[in-house]
Copies of this chain bind each other. A is one copy, B any other.
Amino acid sequence: MNIPVLTDILSANNLIAEQNRKLLDDHRIYMVNLLSSPGAGKTTFIEETIKRLDLAISVIEGDVASDVDAVRIKKLGIPVVQINTGGSCHLNAPMIQKALENLPLHKTDLIFIENVGNLICPAGYKLGENISLVMNSTTEGDDKILKYPGIFRVATSLIINKIDLLPYLDYSLEKINENFLKLNPQARIFPLSSKTGEGFDEWIKWIRTGVDNFCNKL
């Protein structure tokens, strides 16, 4: 066991995350780190957000393997970089640094990072993002906050996806809201469906305000 090495890796990671942040500040670019289990619906959520948001958006896709998600985003005419971690269970700041070299920063307002599907490991790695969103899909059950508190604690907002399936599931929105706000009282919750579009108006308004406030402060 070698905890000092892990500390060094995290320090090095955070240093590069700060460099990423500085580069993005210089370009007035807001960056969102999107986290969830595999299959919660991150890519569809990003697709639907892109369609509704009048901003120049780029996307960084993180996966252990494959370019399935990047191909989907590319079809929308959006600049996208696919990172294959090759086995690693999370993205890190150096991977993002490399990805940023391959995006048109001079004409980008907002970058979505779709992290590797994992509710544990990505929580410890800052990437240079302004905010992190954690997504829970209704089909995963309403006990995930209790089981994976680390990642929900660091979330700026909770996206509850797939609310169109609620009639077919034993899932309590009240329970998840209560457990989440106990852990993270400052955060916002957006229940929505990336399939039907229900709930998107509020989310789009919130993220748009976030980007505007960020630009005004710089």
Contacts and interface: CB of A to CB of B under 8 A. Distances in A.
Nearest to A87: B150
B38 A146 contact: no
A139 interface: yes
B89 A121 contact: yes
A197 interface: no
30 contacts: A5-B5, A38-B119, A39-B137, A39-B139, A39-B140, A39-B141, A40-B140, A64-B120, A64-B147, A64-B149, A65-B146, A65-B147, A65-B148, A65-B150, A66-B143, A66-B147, A87-B120, A87-B150, A88-B120, A89-B118, A89-B120, A89-B121, A118-B118, A118-B120, A137-B139, A139-B140, A139-B162, A139-B165, A165-B165, A165-B168
Contacts of A68: 143, 146-147
A37 interface: yes
Nearest to A12: B1
A148 B64 contact: yes
A186 interface: no
A144 interface: yes
A167 to B, nearest CB: 9
